[in-house]
């Protein structure tokens, strides 16, 4: 059964939400999901751009009060 891991990268300037996501995906199984919480609006556009390029799957992007939740499923 797939599992979801959450990374709270709110206010993380370096290495930042997308780098955290890339590193975290290396540690999970195909089918597992990573949720990244980010206060950087750039995450909402950067993440799908990278996910499409590399071949993983976007699950959802949800706007909360002052931050975004971006969920990606490892596809390969």
Partner 1 sequence: MAKRILIVGGGLAGTIVANGLCRQIGPMLRSGAVNITMIGNTDTHMYQPGLLYVPFGKIREAELFREQRKVLDRRVPYFIDPATKIDVENKQVITESGKAWKYDYLVIATGSRIVPESIPGMAEGAHWFYDLEGARKMRDALEKFEGGKVVVNVNAPHKCPVAPLEVTFMLYDFFKRKGVLDKTEIMYTYPIGRLHALEPVAMWAGPEMDKYNIKYETFFNTKEVDPEAKTITSEEGSTLPYDLLVTIPPHNGQKVITDSDLGAGGWVPTNTKTLHREGSTDVFVVGDTTNIPISKAGSTAHFEADTIVDNLASLLMEGRMARDYDGKVFCFVETGMDSGTYVWFNYTTPPNPGPPSQMIHWFKLAYNRLYWLSARGLL
Binding region for partner 1 (CB under 8 A): 5, 7-9, 11-20, 22-23, 26-28, 46, 49-50, 53-55
Whether residue 14 lies in the annotated active site: yes
Shortest distance in whole angstroms from residue 16 CB to partner 1: 5
Phi, psi of 59 (to 5 degrees): -100, -55
> Exactly one of 4, 6, 8, 14 is catalytic; which is it?
14
Name the strand (E) or helix (H) holding 7.
Answer: strand 4-8
Shortest distance in whole angstroms from residue 29 CB to partner 1: 11
Cα separation, 21 vs 6, whole angstroms = 10
Active site members: 14
């Amino acid at each position: 059964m797939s599992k979801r891991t959450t990374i709270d990268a709110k206010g993380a300037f370096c290495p930042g939400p997308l780098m955290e996501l890339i590193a975290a995906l290396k540690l999970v199984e195909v089918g597992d999901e990573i949720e990244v919480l980010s206060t950087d609006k750039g995450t909402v556009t950067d993440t799908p751009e990278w996910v499409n390029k590399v071949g993983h799957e976007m699950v959802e992007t949800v706007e909360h009060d002052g931050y975004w939740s971006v969920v990606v499923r490892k596809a390969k």
